[in-house]
């Protein structure tokens, strides 16, 4: 697990699992962009407001963009904290 502080005093935590494509994260001002490889067939981007249990996770429907072999989506920092994962 890796935790880092962004320049805008937000904390991002990463957990990398073997066999699961990684999410790449880019923060710019009040925006969070997530990227993952287009060859991650069968994986859905999901979000939740807490990490407890398997309930509470929901698929993000996009809109996604595709460029240079990755899918991407950009969200703004607003409301409660959000956790993201790729789920097969």
pTM of the predicted structure, to 2 decimals: 0.72
pLDDT bin (cut points 50, 70, 90) of residue 3 is very low
Specify the pLDDT at position 52.
Answer: 75
Where does the pLDDT of residue 72 fall: very low under 50, low under 70, confident under 90, or very high at 90 and above? very high
pLDDT in tens, 9-40: 455 555 555 567 888 888 888 888 899 989 88
More confident residue, 55 or 87: 87
pLDDT in tens, 32-65: 889 998 988 888 999 888 877 777 889 998 889 9
- Per the CB < 8 A criterion, the answer to whether 70 and 37 are in contact is yes
The Cα angle at residue 45 between residues 29 and 31, in degrees rounded to 5? 5
């Amino acid at each position: 697990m890796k935790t880092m502080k962004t320049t805008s005093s937000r904390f991002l935590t990463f957990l990398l699992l073997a066999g699961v494509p990684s999410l790449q994260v880019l923060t710019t001002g009040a925006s969070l962009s997530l990227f993952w490889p287009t060859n991650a067939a069968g994986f859905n981007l999901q979000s939740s407001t807490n990490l407890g249990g398997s309930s509470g996770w929901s698929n993000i429907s996009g809109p996604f963009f595709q460029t240079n072999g990755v899918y991407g989506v950009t969200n703004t920092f607003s409301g409660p904290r959000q956790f993201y994962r790729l789920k097969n």
